[in-house]
Amino acid sequence: MAYDEGLAQRIRERLGADPAVTEKRMFGAVAFLYGGNMAVGVTGDDLMVRVGPDATGTAIARPGTRVFDMTGRPMRGWVVVDGAAVAEDDTLGAWLDEGCAFAAGLPPK
Q: What is the pLDDT of residues 30-87, one digit of tens each?
A: 999 999 999 999 999 999 999 999 999 999 999 999 999 877 888 889 999 999 999 9
Return the amino acid letter for 11: I
Percent of the chain with pLDDT over 90: 84
DSSP 76-106: TTEEEE-GGGG-SHHHHHHHHHHHHHHHHTS
Task: Flag whether pLDDT at 1 surpasses 70.
Answer: no
Q: Is the pTM of this model over 0.85?
A: yes
Q: Is 54 helix (H, G, I), strand (E, B) or coil?
A: helix
Grouping H, G, I as helix, E, B as strand and the rest as coil, residue 16 is: coil
Across 16-43, average pLDDT = 94
Q: Cα(8)–Cα(63) distance, rounded to whole angstroms?
A: 20
What's the confidence (pLDDT) of residue 57? Answer: 94
C-alpha span between 7 and 42 (Å, rounded): 7
